[in-house]
Amino acid sequence: MDIDFSPEDMAFQQEVRAWFKAHTPSDLKRKAVTGEMLQKNDIVQWQRRLDSQGWLVTGWPKEHGGPGWTPTQRYIFDLERAAASAPVGLSMGVIMLGPVLIAFGTPEQKAQYLPRIRRCEDWWCQGYSEPGAGSDLASLKTTAVADGDDYVINGSKIWTTYAHWATHMFCLVRTANSGKKQEGISFLLIEMDRPGIDVKPIVSIDGEHHLNQVFLTDVRVPKSNLVGREGQGWDIAKYLLTHERTSIAGVADCKAHLSNLRVAAAERRSGGQPLMEDAAMRLKLARAEIELMALEYTNFRVLAATASGKAPGPESSLLKTMGTAVQQTLAELGVEIAAEQAWPWHDGGEFGSGRHAHAMPHYCFSRAATIYGGSDEVQKNVLAKMLLAGGTR
C-alpha cells in the first residue's frame, strides 16, 4: 500500500483547499467548530453550493453526476473539508440511497430520483429500525401486503433521523413470512405526505430534535416504488449499510476535532499554566492521536482495496467500531478540557459559550455512536464471521 500522494493528487489537494477557504460560509464554520447542530436550510444550501461546483456526489459514478475521482481523491477532499471546518452536511439521499438506486434501481427510478437528490429537492430518511428490531434488524415487523398495483403498509419505525424534515423514506418492509426472516424483506420508497403516516418527535439526550418515531397505518404505496426484487431487501440493506458504516468512521472529522482540542487545551489554563502543559492531558491527547492514526491506516487499507476494484465489505464494520470509539474518546476529552465551560445548554450565559458551547451535548449524544448504524456487538460478529472465520457474504 503506497500512502504517498502523487503529484496529481497534491495538485488536487491544493485546488480543494483553496476552494473551501474561499467558499465555506463563516456561520457554518462556527457550527462545525462548536458542534452546533445544522438546520435543514444549512444543509440544503451547502449541498447546493457543493453541487454547483460538481463536488456533491463524490462517490457516485460520473454518468450520474459524480466527479470521477479516485478513492484517494475522495479521501483528500474529505480531509480538506474537515480541516477547513466545513460541515459534512450531506443528506441520506446522497450518502445512502443514491448508491443503492445506482446499483439496484430501475432506469425510471434513477431518472426520477437521482437528479432530485443532487438538487436537494427531495429529503430522504431511513426507515430501518423498529421497536424490538434495532440491532436484530431481520426481526422487523412492518408489513407490506400486495393489493392490486399497490402495497398496503402497516407498522412503525423508530430513531428515524430527520423524518420531520423528510419528503421521502427508504424503508425495509416485510412482504413474506415464509423461510428465513431475511428472505421476506423488501426495500420500498415511500412519500412522506401519503395518508396514514404520522411522525412523532424524539428529543435525545443532547436536547436536540433530530430523531423520530414514524407510524404507518394502511399506507398505500405503488409497486413501482419497490427497489430490486421482492424479497431482495436484506441484500440491498447490507449494501447500503457498508456505505453508511464507512462514512460513520469519520476519519477526517476526527482529525479536525483533535486539532481543535489541542487549540482548546492551549487556551485553557489550569493551575496558572496552559492545560496543554499538563503531562496527564498531553498523554491523553497523544493516546487519542495514536488511536486515530490506527483508524486512518485502516481506512487507507480499505481505500487501497476499493482502488483495485473491490466493493466495500466487512472491513466497513471494522472502520465503524474503531471510528465510533475514537469519536467517543474525543468527545470525552472535549468535556474534560472545557471543564466548567462545558456546563450544558447555557448558550447565552457565562457557561457553555464559545468553542465549548456544545461540548456536553456532543459528549452525551456520542454515547449512541457505538449503537447506531449497527451496534458494536453486531459489528464484531460480522468481523468474526467474515474476516476471522473466512465466511462469505
- Residue-wise pLDDT tens digits, 354-366: 678 788 888 999 9
Q: Measured between alpha carbons, how far is 314 from 374 in angstroms, rounded to an integer?
A: 12
Max Cα separation, the chain?
Answer: 75
Domains of the chain: 7-89 (no CATH), 124-231 (2.40.110.10), 250-389 (1.20.140.10)
pLDDT, residue 48, reads: 95
Choice between 157 and 250, residue whose per-residue pLDDT is larger: 157
The pTM for the full model equals 0.86
Distance CA 282, CA 171 (A): 46
User: pLDDT digits over 272-299, tens only?
Assistant: 899 999 999 999 999 999 999 999 888 8
Q: What angle do helix axes 40-53 and 26-34 make, rounded to 10 degrees?
A: 120
Task: Give the mean model confidence (pLDDT) for residues 203-209.
Answer: 89
Distance (Å, whole) CA 108 – CA 286:
52
Q: Is 289 one of the catalytic residues?
A: no
Mean pLDDT of 95-102: 94
Tell me the C-alpha distance between 282 and 202, whole Å.
38
pLDDT band (50, 70, 90) for residue 223:
very high
Q: Could you tell me where the DSSP H helices lie in the chain?
A: 7-23, 26-34, 40-53, 71-83, 92, 98-104, 107-118, 233-249, 251-267, 279-307, 315-338, 359-366, 376-383
Residue with cell 450544558: 344
Distance CA 159, CA 202 (A): 8
| Average pLDDT for the chain | 89
Q: How far is CA 203 from CA 138, 206, 207, 365, in A?
A: 26, 8, 6, 11
Tell me, what's the pLDDT at 206?
Answer: 86
Residue appearing with cell numbers 472535549: 334
Taking Cα atoms as reference points, which of 70, 25, 119, 110 lies closest to residue 308? 70
Report the alpha-carbon distance of residue 96 to residue 209 in Å, rounded. 21
Strand partners, 191: 168
Tell me, what's the pLDDT at 391? 55
Q: Which residues pair with 157 in a beta bridge?
A: 214
Cell of 256: 479536525
Non-local (6+) Cβ contacts of 4 within 8 A are none
Residue 168 forms beta bridges with which residues?
124, 191
Inform me whether the pLDDT recorded for 390 exceeds 60: yes
- Compute the Cα dihedral for 332, 336, 338, 342 and give only its sign: positive
Query: CA-CA distance, 184 to 206, in Å (whole number)?
Result: 36
Rg (CA), the chain: 22
pLDDT at position 33 is 85
- Axis crossing angle, helix 359-366 with helix 315-338, rounded to the nearest 10: 150
Q: Is the confidence at residue 26, as pLDDT, over 90? A: yes
**Exposure class string for 40-78: b at 16+ Cβ within 10 A, else e:** eebbbebbebbbeeebbbbbbeeebbbbebebbbbbbbb
pLDDT at residue 312, as a whole number? 61
Single-letter amino acid code for the residue at 174: R
Which residues are registered as beta bridge partners of 211? Answer: 202
Q: Which of 244, 296, 315, 336 is catalytic?
A: 244
Please determine, for residue 381, whether its predicted confidence score (pLDDT) is greater than 90. no
What pLDDT does residue 72 have?
Answer: 83
In this predicted structure, the answer to whether residue 86 has a pLDDT above a threshold of 60 is yes
pLDDT of 36 higher than 90: no
